[in-house]
C-alpha cells in the first residue's frame, strides 16, 4: 500500500490533484474537504493515500487527515459501496458528522450524500454501527476535541481506571454524547 504521496502540487480541482514527484505526475482523487485545504499550485504538498486496485482499474485517493482516510476505508468495507460514494460522503459531510449520524443511527442524514438513497443509508448505518466504535475516534475528531479526549483519558487513568477501560468509557461517551468537547464533560459522563 502507498501510505502517502509528497511532492509539488502541479494542478488541482475540486475532485482531483496532480502531484509532481521528481518529474512524474500522479493524479490523486480527493474529496472536496481535502481540495479546500490544498496549498497553491507549485507548493509542496503531502497527502495520505489509499491505493484502490480492481481487476479493471487502479486509482490513488488522497486525504489531508488520518480521519478522512479512516472513514473512506470504513465505507469501502460496506457491501455495494465503492470509492465514488465514499468520496461523495467526505465531500458532503465531515468525518465528525459521519461518525455522529452513524452512531446516533440517523440514516436520513446520510441521504444527503450523492448516490445514497434510503436503503443504502440504512445499510451504511447497520453495517458501520459496530465498526465505527472500533475506529480510533481521535483520528476523526477536531483537534480541540481530540485534545480534550486525551486529557480525559489521562485524568481517568490518574483516578485508577485502566487505560483499556478508560478508552472503552470514552468511546461510549462519544457515541452517546457527540457534542462533548471538554475534558471535564468527558470525565463526568464516563464516570456518571
Strands 24-29 and 16-21: antiparallel
Q: What is the pLDDT of residue 94?
A: 86
Asked whether 72 and 87 are in contact (CB, 8 A), the reply is: yes
Domain span(s) for CATH 2.40.50.140 in the chain: 4-63
Q: Look at residue 143 in the predicted model and tell me its pLDDT.
A: 47
pLDDT of residue 149: 74
* Helix, strand counts (H, E) of the chain: 9, 5
User: What pLDDT is recorded for position 158?
Assistant: 87
Give me the phi and psi of 43, to 5 degrees please.
-95, 160
- The answer to whether 44 and 6 are in contact (CB under 8 A) is yes
What span, in angstroms and rounded, lies between the C-alpha atoms of 161 and 17? 46
Whether pTM exceeds 0.85? no
Query: Residue 143: which of 91, 87, 73, 67 has the closest Cα?
Result: 67
Q: Are 35 and 61 in contact (CB under 8 A)?
A: no
Residue 141 and residue 119: Cα distance in Å, rounded? 27
Class of domain 4-63: mainly beta
Per-residue pLDDT of the chain (192 residues; tens, 9 = 90+): 689 999 999 999 999 999 999 999 999 999 998 998 899 999 999 999 999 998 888 999 999 988 899 999 999 999 889 999 999 999 999 888 898 899 889 999 999 999 999 999 999 999 998 888 666 545 554 545 666 777 788 888 888 988 778 878 887 887 777 677 788 888 999 888
Rounded Cα–Cα distance for residues 60 and 83 (Å): 10
Classify domain 66-138 by CATH architecture: Orthogonal Bundle (1.10)
Residues of the chain with CATH 1.10.150.20: 66-138
Amino acid at each position: 500500500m502507498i501510505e502517502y504521496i509528497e511532492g509539488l502540487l502541479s494542478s488541482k480541482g475540486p475532485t482531483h490533484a496532480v502531484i509532481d514527484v521528481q518529474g512524474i505526475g500522479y493524479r490523486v482523487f480527493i474529496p472536496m474537504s481535502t481540495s479546500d485545504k490544498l496549498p497553491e499550485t507549485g507548493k509542496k504538498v503531502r497527502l495520505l493515500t489509499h491505493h484502490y486496485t480492481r481487476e479493471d482499474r487502479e486509482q490513488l485517493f488522497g486525504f489531508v487527515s488520518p480521519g478522512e482516510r479512516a472513514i473512506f476505508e470504513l465505507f469501502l468495507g460496506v457491501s455495494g459501496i465503492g470509492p465514488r460514494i465514499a468520496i461523495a460522503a467526505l465531500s458532503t459531510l465531515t468525518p465528525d458528522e459521519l461518525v455522529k449520524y452513524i452512531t446516533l443511527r440517523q440514516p436520513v442524514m446520510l441521504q444527503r450524500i450523492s448516490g445514497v438513497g434510503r436503503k443504502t443509508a440504512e445499510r451504511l448505518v447497520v453495517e458501520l454501527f459496530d465498526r465505527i466504535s472500533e475506529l480510533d475516534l481521535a483520528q476523526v475528531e477536531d483537534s480541540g476535541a481530540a485534545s480534550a479526549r486525551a486529557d480525559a483519558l489521562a485524568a481517568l487513568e490518574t483516578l485508577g481506571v485502566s487505560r483499556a477501560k478508560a478508552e472503552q468509557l470514552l468511546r461510549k461517551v462519544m457515541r452517546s454524547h457527540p457534542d462533548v468537547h471538554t475534558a471535564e464533560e468527558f470525565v463526568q459522563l464516563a464516570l456518571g
